Amino acid sequence: MAKITIVGAGNVGATAAHVLATQTPHEIVLVDIVEGLPQGKALDLAQALAAEGRDARIAGANSYGPTKGSDLIVITAGIARKPGMTREDLVRTNAGIVRDVAREAAARSPHAVMMVVSNPLDVMCHVAHAASGFPRERVVGMAGALDSARLAAAIAHEAKVPVKDVHALVLGSHGDLMVALPGRCTVRGEPLARALPRERIDAAVAKAREGGAEIVGLLGTSAYYAPAACIARMARAILDGTGEIVPCAALLSGEYGISGAFIGVPVRLGEGGILEIVEIGLSSDEKAALAKAAASVRELADVALGRA
C-alpha cells in the first residue's frame, strides 16, 4: 500500500482524495493550514466510503508530521488571482506558498514523487523543483492531462460521438499558450479532419483553451472535478507503475529543442515518476508555439525564483 499526501484540502485537493480513495487502496493524508478543515473532510470522506462498504485510510492534518514516508506528494495549495493583482503578484504569492510546502513535504518524504497542481502550474513546478531538491524525474505538473481532457470533451460534443471514441492531445503551457495538436487527434481511429470541418475543430480548440475561465465565470471558483480526475489518473500511473503516457509538465533538457523549462509534453509515468519524455514529430508551427510557451514559463520562473 502506497502513501499519498495531498497538500491543500480545498475543492481540488479534497475531490482528488475522494476520487483516489474510491479507486485505490492507498493511504491518503490531507494537509491544510486551516484548523479542522482537513480533519473534517477526511472524516466525511471516510464515512462516504463506509456507505459504499469500503474501508478508508484517510487522515487530516495541519502539520507535515503525518506525511512522513509518502510515496506521492500532490501540491494543490495556493490562492486564486484576486481583483487588482498582477500576474507577477500572483506568481510571487503562490511561489512563497509552494516553496514552503515543497520544502516541508520533501524533508519528510525524500524519496517521493512530487505532483504540482497549483497555478500558474508550469512556473510552480520550477518552484517545487528548486525547493525540494528532487531530480527532474520526480517533479511533474498536472496540466496537459486536463487540457487534453477538455479538448476531447469539446471534440466529442462537436462530432456528436462518445468521448471514449476521441483521442486528443494538448502540449505546451497551461493557459493561453497551450499547444493543441489537432493533427494528432482522432475520432474513432480516423484523423480529426475527417470528422469535423476546420471551423468546428477551431471551435473545439477554443473551447478547451477557455475551459478553465468559462468555469470560473459560471461557478465563481476554479474547476475541481476534472482536475481531481486527472490527478487520480496520474497518481495511478505512478504508484501502480503502469508506464502510461500522459501529457504532463516536465523539465526539459534538450527534448523538443528546449532546455530549462517545465512545459507540457507526452510523458511515460511509472514507479519513480517520469520514466521517459516521449518526443513526437511536430510541425514547424507547433515547435514554434512550444518554444514560445517555454520562453514565457522561463520569464515567470525568474520572477518566482527571485531572479527578476
Burial of 53 (0-12, 13-18, 19+ CB in 10 A): exposed
Burial of 63 (0-12, 13-18, 19+ CB in 10 A): exposed
Known catalytic membership, residue 26 = no
**Exactly one of 26, 126, 129, 174 is catalytic; which is it?**
174
Q: What is the pLDDT of residues 13-49, one digit of tens each?
A: 999 999 999 998 899 999 999 999 999 999 999 999 9
Give the chain's domains with CATH numbers.
3-141 (3.40.50.720)
CA atoms of 286 and 34, how far apart (whole Å): 43
- Set of cell numbers at residue 89: 503578484
What stretch of H or E contains 93? helix 87-108
Q: Are 151 and 181 in contact (CB under 8 A)?
A: no
Phi, psi of 281 (to 5 degrees): -70, 130
- Residue 27 forms beta bridges with which residues? 3
Report residue 308's pLDDT band, with 50, 70 and 90 as the boundaries: low
Query: Model pTM?
Result: 0.96
Mean pLDDT of 121-135: 97
Please report how many Cα atoms fall inside a 13 Å half-sphere around the Cα of residue 107, on the Cβ side: 9
Mean pLDDT score of the chain: 95
Q: What is the pLDDT of residues 145-163, one digit of tens each?
A: 999 999 999 999 999 999 9
- 81: pLDDT strictly greater than 90: no
What stretch of H or E contains 277? strand 273-277
Query: Does residue 92 sit in helix, strand or coil?
Result: helix
Which pLDDT value is given to residue 174?
Answer: 85
- Set of cell numbers at residue 122: 508550469
Which pLDDT value is given to residue 298?
Answer: 96
- Residue 74 forms beta bridges with which residues? 6, 115
Place of cell 509515468: 269
